[in-house]
Structure 1
């Protein structure tokens, strides 16, 4: 499958440049990282060149521009095996939703020149944006053969997924009648063709997975290294005493529940920590990520995947403070929506570098962790109640749905987090305007060596 992804802020820049209001064609070029996994090749936008209108010859049905303006991008692409994507618009009345003869001629000259310059046998792409903001496109491989772009995604306050793959969704409409009534065919079809990664299958992860499978999400990638125990039975949907006795892996319990429902969702499971190369590469193929973890390390790696591969994600947390005498002091829940190039869980202070370092050392070198008493305590245990977890998980999934099918009175750009105070029976949205200086530099990097700039994820055979 051929895919292209871009962050919301890049998409807005592109849309404003291509449609300045004069009904004339305009052009831009994106420099993209690559993600290659199996038969999938994804181009992820890391930088944009908005070709100035005043150096172009622009009409309602064509644009001519000096292609030497992309030379700096060509040099970077040749050095780092990056991709170039040409993007132009079809504006005005009578717009045609296909590549014209002029487009074909222009693209052939451009990509023949690009292939001669770079000469790495890797594909580049051309896209068209329509007045409604929709994008469609095609790959040019090194033989100048054309391949369709099967999916183009935007990870912004709103999440767009334009799917041009005609293969069957695998989810029968018979199972989705009520979902179709609520959200309509377009959104339900998007859910059917989405691949969603859920990291953490316990307290909040279990009800998250329960909702996603019944919403008809096409593929679920489940990650959790832990097994079911008796202390989990109060909050893992579908778990049994037999699972606890046999120490069944949590991902296997979740998969069993999905298969038993029988709606047709494909399940990929990893009974391992997220800090595995295989897990990172599979999550990098997802359209959306959901974090149901307690620790700093899982959150940090998910934020890295989100940035490198331009994938939106939701993180949730529950804090239940008991007084130790059968009473409860207070209960809080928070749902954070993260889009690439914006604020991060780190900049929002949802974890600290000290905690991240302590968890990493504890996982990889327990003896070293025990020798360094100054490290943060990573073995904290908190009360967990299914009713609280389910409400926070439902808030997260409703936020996920609002991103792909905006239904709220308030614009999604005004809602970056949702905070719940159970003691006061209130919930309220929060807008967060900062940009994370660390993660913003990583947007669209794609596959690098080592993966995620993390030596632990190095592919020794390829990275040496």
Structure 2
């Protein structure tokens, strides 16, 4: 089991500002919801409680004594919110590890936490030095500890901290990338777990780029079988692959490239609850699906789990073999930014119609015959050059979030490609106040029943 912590950037910055405002030790408590899979327990930070004023009994550059009331108040809030607790304190002198005194005091603290907080999860502790996080661990119910494997900070950038970075050499075939971004980014890419939803025209191109960039683990979801008519735009496909599951073609593509990428196959669409739940282990998700129900679910997923989703699409307006316009889009779905509903990229009517078809196909057919459900329409035109261009745009946005190579002023959350006009536009729009994505009560909510507060089809 691995243990991780995810912050929103605003919460991390508030924590850092509090802990760094004195040459003496400072402390705070973090209230966290939980995401639990077979392989990972992920703590999602939803609130920061600074320890201040009369809650501090003693304080110096090397020690701190906190009043019991501060602990009990934080534990009560965690229990009330069905959350877990993380204790954070600073070492302004730069000492990187938990001290022996930390071990003694925290053992008592977390023994009490497991008694007073009824949430079925884990609690943890972090140490922050002037250089950033330096030590991170969870305390388990039996009094033992385990390392926190990674800390994510998600916002304008996607930042990661790994307590054990290692000294592995970067393979020589990444030399040109290292010259562009440096070794640290190449090491980061090798540690990332990226999800790809759909491996058709855009998805297969995104997949190939992620593999060649050196992403360590890629989870792929697609429940469809390949049709030979799509060979002109699906990377890695062959005419003889007709009826082969698309995820198998993706798996073969990774094996043929041979960079050692770990590929995890999910042979179902994310409109199946069991498929989307597996993406809870991802650091980042690339949304390459073309149905509105799937996009709506990714909308909610990004909000509930602090996992940035790069949603993309291509639309070719063509009549009688003459192209009138080509538009592409890459939208970054993240807390605080306008979602696809806010932007009008998907409609509640079509999402509801597709959900009805998923959960009650017979009833949906009857309603469609009566004209109460919108028709899905014919397959849209697709050209490999255009799907590849938008896929490359999405991967470029991912690289910017990781590196900031476009500069600090580039904070847009959507890129519009007017391909036929050779023009690119960007925008950054806040959540609409009456949209579900603006409801902070949903942010970082993590595991709930039903999953994502949504009704799911029977599998």
TM-score if structure 1 supplies the norm length? 0.90
Once the two structures are superposed, the pairs formed by residues 239-388 of structure 1 within 5 Å of their partners are 239-244=237-242, 247-322=243-318, 324-372=319-367, 373-388=371-386
From the superposition, tell whether residues 447 and 252 of structure 1 become closer, same or farther in structure 2 (CA, over 3 Å).
Answer: same
Once the two structures are superposed, residues 246-285 of structure 1 have per-residue CA deviations (whole angstroms, 9 ceiling, x without a partner) of: x111111111100111110011111212133332231000
Residues 330 and 58 (structure 1 numbering): CA distance in 2 closer, same or farther, change over 3 Å? farther
Cα distance in 2 for residues equivalent to 1:130 and 1:380: 58
- The number of residues matched between the two structures is 451
Partners of 2:136 and 2:163 within 8 A in 1: no
1:230 to 209, 224, 228: 228
| Cross-structure match for 1:88 | 89
Supply the RMSD in Å over aligned alpha carbons: 2.5
* 1:380-459 to 2 correspondences below 5 Å: 380-412=378-410, 414-434=411-431, 437-439=435-437, 440-456=440-456
Whole-Å Cα distance in 1 between the matches of residues 118 and 98 of structure 2?
25
Q: 1:441 to 1:218 in 2, by over 3 A?
A: same
Return the alpha-carbon distance in structure 2 between the equivalents of residues 434 and 442 of structure 1. 13
Q: 1:106 to 1:196 in 2, by over 3 A?
A: same
Aligned to 1:36: 36
Does the aligned pair in 2 maintain the 1:450–1:458 contact within 8 Å? no
Task: Specify whether residues 263 and 172 from structure 1 end up closer, same or farther in structure 2 by C-alpha distance, changes over 3 A only.
Answer: farther
Say if 2:188 is the partner of 1:174. no
1:199 corresponds to:
197
Q: Gaps (5+ residues) in structure 1?
A: 460-464
Structure 2 segments unaligned to the other structure (5+ residues): none
Equivalent pair of 2:134/2:163 in contact (CA under 8 Å): no
Deviation of 1:295 (Å): 1.7
Range moving further from structure 2, 109-118 or 433-442: 433-442
Give 1:217's aligned residue: 215
Corresponding residue number in structure 1 for 2:161 = 162
Distance 1:422 1:147 in 2: 51
Cα 1:167/1:370, change in 2 over 3 Å: farther
Question: How does the TM-score come out when normalised to structure 2?
Answer: 0.91
Q: Which moved more, 1:37-46 or 1:78-87?
A: 78-87
Name the counterpart of 2:26.
26
* Contact 2:8 2:45 (C-alpha < 8 Å) held by counterparts: yes
Over residues 304-347 of structure 1, what are the superposed CA-to-partner deviations in whole Å (9 max), with x where a residue is unaligned?
Answer: 2222222112111212111x222111111111112234432222
CA positional deviation for 1:165: 4.8
Residues 170 and 187 of structure 2 are in contact (CA less than 8 Å); yes or no, is this contact kept in structure 1? no
1:417 Cα shift? Answer: 1.3
Aligned CA distance change for structure 1 residues 172 and 457 (closer, same or farther; 3 Å):
farther
SS of the aligned residue for 1:456 comes to coil
Aligned partners of 2:82 and 2:118 also within 8 Å: no
Q: How far apart, CA to CA, are the structure 1 residues paired with 2:268 and 2:54?
A: 54
Deviates more, 1:71-80 or 1:342-351: 71-80
